[in-house]
Amino acid sequence: MFANAQLSDPLLPRPRLSIVVPCYNEEACLETLHRRLTEQARTAVGEDYEIVLVDDGSKDRTWPMMRALGETDPHVRALRLSRNHGHQLALSAGLDLCRGELILIIDADLQDPPELLGAMIARMEAEEADVVYGVRTQRLGETVAKRATAKLFYRLLAHLSDGVEIPLDTGDFRLMSRRALDVLQAMPERSRFIRGMVAWIGFKQVAIEYQRDERFAGETNYPFVKMIRLAVDALTGFSVAPLRLASYAGFAFSLLSLALIAYSLIGWLGGHTVPGWTSLMIVVLVLGSVQLFVLGLLGEYLGRLYHQAKGRPLYIVSEMAVHPGAMAPLPQ
Cβ within 8 Å of residue 137, ≥6 positions away: 169, 209, 210, 211
Using CB under 6 A, pick the residue from 90, 198, 201, 235 that binds ligand UDP.
90
The answer to whether the CB of 61 falls within 8 A of the CB of 136 is no
Number of residues binding to ligand UDP, judged by CB under 6 A: 16
d(CA 81, CA 98): 15
Stretch of 79-87, 152-160, 194-202, 247-255 contacting ligand UDP, by CB under 6 A: 79-87
Binds 26: which of ligand UDP, Mg ion, none (CB < 5-8 Å by kind): ligand UDP
Q: In whole angstroms, what is the distance from residue 285 CA to residue 259 CA?
A: 18
Residue 154 in the binding site for ligand UDP (CB under 6 A): no
3, 40, 52, 56: which one binds ligand UDP (CB under 6 A): 56
The verdict on 84 binding ligand UDP (CB under 6 A) reads yes
Counting contacts by CB under 5 A, is residue 25 touching Mg ion? Answer: no
What are the beta bridge partners of residue 105? 20, 174
By the rule CB under 6 A, 87 interacts with ligand UDP: yes
State how far the Cα of 103 lies from the Cα of 92, in Å rounded to an integer.
12
Nearer to ligand UDP, 99 or 136 (CB): 136
CB 20 within 8 A of CB 98: yes
Q: Is 26 in the site for Mg ion (CB under 5 A)?
A: no
**Distance, CA of 130 to CA of 141 (rounded, Å):** 31
Q: Is the Cβ of residue 124 or residue 194 nearer to ligand UDP in the bound state?
A: 194
Site for Mg ion in 94-113 (CB under 5 A): 107, 109, 111
**Can residue 88 be called a binding residue for Mg ion (CB under 5 A)?**
no
How far is it, in rounded angstroms, from Cα 96 to Cα 185? 7
Length of the chain: 332
**Residue of the chain from 3, 17, 23, 98 that contacts ligand UDP (CB under 6 A):** 23
Q: How far is the CB of 212 from Mg ion (least distance, A)?
A: 8
Task: Examine residue 108 and tell whether it contacts ligand UDP (CB under 6 A).
Answer: yes
Termini Cα distance of the chain: 28
Distance CA 18, CA 41 (A): 9
**Which residues contribute to the site for ligand UDP (CB under 6 A)?**
22-24, 26, 56, 84, 86-87, 90, 107-109, 111, 220-222
